Amino acid sequence: MKILAIETSCDETSIALLEARGDRGDFPTFAIKKSIVASQIKIHAPFGGVVPNLAKREHEKNLPILYRKIFGAPANEKKLWTKIDLIAVTVGPGLEPALWAGITFAEGLAKKLKKPLVGANHLEGHLYSFLLSGGSKPNFPAVALIVSGGHTILLKMPDLYNWKKIGETRDDAVGEAYDKVARLLNLPYPGGPEIEKLAKHGDKRAIDFPRPMIYHKNYDFSFSGLKTAVRYYVVTHPGADKNVKTKADIAASFQEAALDVLIRKTARAIEETGAKTLFISGGVSINGELRRRFKKELGKKVKVYFPKREFCNDNAAMIATAAYIKFTQGKKYRPAAQANLNM
Ligand code: KG4
Ligand code: ZN
């Protein structure tokens, strides 16, 4: 089955064309025919975060350009059209105006191509993004950790098709904490890659930041207190946000605290569910120190799957995986924006 997928939930416009194989119950495989991501980072950076209506306008501008890049000249376009079986579009969670830009475009295409249109959950897209790497078939039960700019979620999975949320952040997502700490250190948006770079030159034991909820007997997280602790440190150490060595120490110590909590909670979830596999996904899962520590500390207990780096941040290829997995189960999301859709 050939799937054309569209993602516009935040600040990446993306279109992908994939060939999906495997019926219900089979292990699905995906071959990526085309995949394009146009990032709006430069447009939103001066505002220190994503501006929803600006994102919508950019998506509306980018979608036809990306579509042309995928389909090429009109003659080629017609040939490709006939081969598409399904159109998938992200319906949430995300910024409502941004979501509608993608949905409206997808609806237009579905009408023009006379093809079925299905909605997809952005978070399921992250969850299943490891499937884009090929690789070995995972064993179940599994635990999944989604770490993005908007979410920090722990799931247990009896099999590939079913998941149950067991914990999530009660306030800021971990990616959001990276972004906010970066802002405190006068670093540009998005903060994740900046903090990671800076942390490489810092001492992760320099500052003992709190590890919120680390010993709580649940799977929930809280990162707002950690960010506040960083703010307090910066305010009480004048010049800390300007001194390169201190900034690097703050970045490294913050990252260490955040990763300690993520790893500890995930380790408990693995122990208590008897999981054989761990899936980690979302924008923060591109982080090299996160990958190194999870593999080192949990890699003996479970096989750890990460998406390829190019599929950690928002992209349409992952939306095709989520839509296909739902489709093979006879389920779909209706194509209307659901900004607060969760798992
Ligand atoms: O999944 P994503 O692209 O968008 C959402 O669905 O939210 O995640 C974006 C988040 C941002 O908060 C960004 O700072 C974070 O991922 N991020 C990182 C890194 N690269 C991106 N966080 C830590 N280290 C990185 N290298
Ligand atoms: Zn995302």
Q: Where are the domains of the chain?
A: 2-128+311-328, 140-275
Give the contacts of 124 (CB within 8 A, at least 6 positions apart).
322, 325, 326, 343
Q: What is the pLDDT of residue 103?
A: 98
Q: What is the pLDDT of residue 80?
A: 83
Q: Mean pLDDT for the chain?
A: 96
Ligand that comes closest to the CA of residue 125 = 2
Q: How far is the CA of 149 from the centre of ligand 1 (A)?
A: 5
Among residues of the chain, what percentage have pLDDT more than 70?
Answer: 100
Q: How far is the CA of 289 from the centre of ligand 1 (A)?
A: 14
Q: How far is the CA of 279 from the centre of ligand 1 (A)?
A: 16
* 328 token code pair: 């093979």
Tell me the pLDDT band of 200, cut-offs 50, 70 and 90: very high
pLDDT at 19 over 80: yes
Q: How far is the CA of 245 from the centre of ligand 1 (A)?
A: 24
CB-based contact 289:316 (threshold 8 Å): no
pLDDT tens figures, 223-250: 999 999 999 999 999 999 999 999 999 9
| Full-model pTM | 0.96
Ligand that comes closest to the CA of residue 199 = 1
pLDDT tens figures, 85-139: 999 999 999 999 999 999 999 999 999 989 999 999 999 999 999 999 988 899 9
Q: Which atom of ligand 1 is nearest to the CA of 255?
A: 23
Helix locations, the chain, DSSP H = 41-44, 52-71, 74-83, 96-113, 122-127, 174-184, 191-199, 224-236, 244-273, 288-298, 316-328
Tell me the pLDDT band of 4, cut-offs 50, 70 and 90: very high
Q: Which residue has its alpha carbon closest to ligand 1 atom 13?
A: 192
Tell me the pLDDT band of 31, cut-offs 50, 70 and 90: very high
Q: What is the pLDDT of residue 308?
A: 97
Ligand that comes closest to the CA of residue 7 = 2
| Calpha distance 193→199 (Å, rounded) | 10
The ligand 1 site (C-beta within 6 Å) comprises 10, 148-150, 175-176, 178-179, 190-193, 196, 282-284, 286-287, 313-314
> Region 262-285: what's the mean pLDDT?
98
- Identical fold at 2-128+311-328 and 140-275? yes
CB-based contact 191:181 (threshold 8 Å): yes
Q: Which CATH architecture has domain 140-275?
A: 2-Layer Sandwich (3.30)
Q: How far is the CA of 95 from the centre of ligand 2 (A)?
A: 11
Q: Which residue has its alpha carbon closest to ligand 1 atom 3?
A: 313
Q: What is the pLDDT of residue 72?
A: 87
Q: How far is the CA of 197 from the centre of ligand 2 (A)?
A: 21
CATH 3.30.360.10 fits 2-128+311-328, yes or no: no
Tell me the pLDDT band of 76, cut-offs 50, 70 and 90: confident
Q: What is the pLDDT of residue 236?
A: 97
Q: How far is the CA of 37 from the centre of ligand 2 (A)?
A: 13
> Region 305-333: what's the mean pLDDT?
96
Q: Which residue has its alpha carbon closest to ligand 1 atom 8?
A: 283
Pocket mutation for ligand 1, best pick of 262, 284, 340 (most atoms within 8 Å of C-beta): 284
> Region 68-86: what's the mean pLDDT?
87
Tell me the pLDDT band of 74, cut-offs 50, 70 and 90: confident
